[in-house]
Structure 1
């Protein structure tokens, strides 16, 4: 059946600033090969559990939650090649008489022989660690009857011994994902272009003449709208600024809530990052004004509080707001043409990490070089051909796509020379 779209979206590769941001997002994506593998892995875990005595006929639902459920998975905190994936295992009646710690221990025991490098029982889940650095969190849940679909109680128990702090926590990850998808409709042109570029970088050819109506089937595992792409960039920004931090950091599900809340189709990528960040800053400032911690709950389940473990203090949330203001200030200066190319790249490396920004610049250089060899042209938003500036790129790409000698770049040309 053909699906009609209300929004085309903006191609992030048409604008020099949005283009580098989109390439940064591409650099932190779950690769196509691992995405396919991830989808198979959580089904394999379910099959394995159902073959054990303890869980036979006791798994009512087994479904992705968090970033995987909304196509927003990026590389793990402090790394560029590790990925955390989350699934919920809704359990049957046998487990309703058990304590939170006993349920977690039962799950840990059942997965003890699963063929991974190691497993670890956490406070709310059991984590499987794969050799390719993928981590899969399995969260046990019990259906909260009489509530919205799949609203459940999940376990919270630190262990190793029972504690008065052990409890069941209300959650509806399924309902939140449905809410998020409703708030962030597919932007067909944006999804098509991002999917094409994503596949190109993975060494696969994508059908250039793809019809807009075909985008959902072709892009079933890639970012489909600008709000989600902006969310990934904000999550990456958070990961970088908290890379050496030992405590809790702003939770991804909270950031996802703000992305859904602030979503506005047909908005430029850089503008969307700014928009989401400002919504978070405003709510933090309002809470801090009254000396309260930020409170963000699941919009479809009031008792599912996304900020139940962060922030721990007003000072902690104010610190994050300061970081977000720095992100907004930098992006606004770029959008207004108030930052020179080399300064931009230095700022981007500090904000998003040297490795992924350099990789993004090299990817652009390689694509521009290939386009020139094929007699194609890549234009900036004011009609000029945009070529990467050699001084911002390291490695072979820098020498193979050197720009011709022309006048010095002006701030509005972003990171390239305009001829």
Structure 2
């Protein structure tokens, strides 16, 4: 009997384009030091609620949902150092007799004096704002009995008074996370390469900034597969494209669904970004041809609709598809060698943000420079030498990155 296939994944630092993309994802994602801190804050928030008389013995489950649950957290829309984290607080007993707004108001009252910068009641959750720019959204939920594990109803009420729009919304965040994990298995080679890169930054002193100062000597893999790393890049691209947009944007949970659907273990990182984007484009175009808005539901709970608040119009979804087409065309052009090295970093900055791309470029330049100084020259699989010079970041002299002046080394001024 043959042993079951176990995907190993690709080392994203072996390919010039994938290496740049991986460094950008690293610059935008939740640092391991804050990843551990987030876990502690979950526990502290639950303990605070359980100490409140209204919530004593009323919390059945308290668990992460969304990006934190699948290790895909990145900085918030339009920022480089703010992180939104999500918790579901499954309530029981007395709360089952209350309307949505009353539950949200009770949660707000219980958290009113929590030691953070501010506490804000939202339409579906209560948000804790920490001084280090982390935001913790606590969403109250009531278990939908007789359904799959932890399918629940979450509150929807804008307030401050009751409205005919107030309602309970079906969701199964827990089931979706299990579905996503089943679709995106651990790719050991990829995960270890990314994990080791974090630790090497700490050990060598090549820190991007204080965010990685507290990386422990031994920590679990944070990003476990290429699909999740690609998802972080697609989310970052969305954040930059919509940084100044005042309305709703393509929801992260919808993007996570497409990452799980499109997941193909052992793909390269750039291939995976293109694959996710093309899957979204295809579904949007199909919906638009039928004169319909995109409909994406939780694969384990049909009534949990990920697109219930976006898109609001067909034109809005077509706009997003257009952005994604431009991203795909750009990445495919880089892979063909159509984009010269002196334009590559500017192109990346406009798609993923100036600060995170510059941080990525700085790390690459510093690391490569240290390698050359120690005679540890680095070569790509196709024989291109990664060579730094003063004030620039070295880019591999291979056709996959730059075609002009084919027998020279290239640097991109940062």
User: Is 1:11–1:190's contact at 8 Å kept on the other side of the alignment?
Assistant: yes
Deviations 1:191-221 (A, max 9, x none): 000011123334589xxxxxxxxxxx96635
| Pair 1:19-2:19 in alignment | yes
Distance change >3 Å, CA 377–CA 245, structure 1 → 2: same
Cross-structure match for 1:394: none
Partner of 2:127: helix, strand, or coil? strand
User: Is 2:337–2:399's contact at 8 Å kept on the other side of the alignment?
Assistant: yes
Match of 2:400 among 397, 406, 412: 412
Matches within 5 A, 1:192-203: 192-202=192-202
Cross-structure match for 1:214: none
Cross-structure match for 1:74: 74
Distance change >3 Å, CA 266–CA 402, structure 1 → 2: closer
Structure 1: how far apart are the matches of 2:375 and 2:162? 69
Partner of 1:412: helix, strand, or coil? coil
Cross-structure match for 1:398: 391
User: Is 1:190–1:224's contact at 8 Å kept on the other side of the alignment?
Assistant: yes
Structure 2: how far apart are the matches of 1:203 and 1:244? 38
Partner of 2:72: helix, strand, or coil? coil
Moved more, 378-387 or 408-417: 408-417
Unaligned segments of structure 2, at least 5 residues? 206-216
Cross-structure match for 2:100: 100
User: Is 2:386–2:397's contact at 8 Å kept on the other side of the alignment?
Assistant: no
Distance change >3 Å, CA 66–CA 221, structure 1 → 2: farther
Cross-structure match for 2:144: 144
Cross-structure match for 2:177: 177
Matches within 5 A, 1:19-418: 19-202=19-202, 220-388=220-388, 398=391, 411-414=399-402, 417=409
Partner of 2:37: helix, strand, or coil? helix
User: Is 2:297–2:303's contact at 8 Å kept on the other side of the alignment?
Assistant: yes
Structure 2: how far apart are the matches of 1:375 and 1:168? 63
Structure 2: how far apart are the matches of 1:202 and 1:159? 47
Partner of 1:201: helix, strand, or coil? helix
Structure 1: how far apart are the matches of 2:401 and 2:386? 8
User: Is 1:30–1:74's contact at 8 Å kept on the other side of the alignment?
Assistant: yes
Structure 2: how far apart are the matches of 1:63 and 1:95? 18
Moved more, 164-173 or 31-40: 31-40
User: Is 1:384–1:418's contact at 8 Å kept on the other side of the alignment?
Assistant: no
User: Is 2:66–2:173's contact at 8 Å kept on the other side of the alignment?
Assistant: yes
Structure 1: how far apart are the matches of 2:336 and 2:240? 25
Question: How much does 1:381 deviate?
Answer: 2.6
Partner of 2:285: helix, strand, or coil? helix
User: Is 1:362–1:398's contact at 8 Å kept on the other side of the alignment?
Assistant: no
User: Is 1:340–1:410's contact at 8 Å kept on the other side of the alignment?
Assistant: no
Cross-structure match for 2:210: none
Question: How much does 1:384 deviate?
Answer: 2.2
Structure 2: how far apart are the matches of 1:340 and 1:221? 34
Structure 2: how far apart are the matches of 1:58 and 1:221? 33
Structure 2: how far apart are the matches of 1:260 and 1:160? 38
Structure 2: how far apart are the matches of 1:295 and 1:219? 38
User: Is 1:32–1:202's contact at 8 Å kept on the other side of the alignment?
Assistant: no
Partner of 1:7: helix, strand, or coil? coil
Cross-structure match for 1:393: none
Distance change >3 Å, CA 159–CA 12, structure 1 → 2: same
Question: How much does 1:337 deviate?
Answer: 1.1
Structure 2: how far apart are the matches of 1:72 and 1:409? 32
Question: How much does 1:285 deviate?
Answer: 0.1
Question: How much does 1:367 deviate?
Answer: 1.0
Structure 2: how far apart are the matches of 1:128 and 1:74? 18
Structure 2: how far apart are the matches of 1:155 and 1:335? 46
User: Is 2:30–2:73's contact at 8 Å kept on the other side of the alignment?
Assistant: yes
Unaligned segments of structure 1, at least 5 residues? 206-216, 391-396
Q: Which runs of 4+ in 1 moved over 6 A?
A: none
TM-score (norm: length of structure 1)? 0.90
Moved more, 334-343 or 130-139: 334-343
User: Is 1:31–1:202's contact at 8 Å kept on the other side of the alignment?
Assistant: no
Question: How much does 1:383 deviate?
Answer: 1.6
User: Is 1:5–1:188's contact at 8 Å kept on the other side of the alignment?
Assistant: no
Structure 2: how far apart are the matches of 1:237 and 1:347? 12
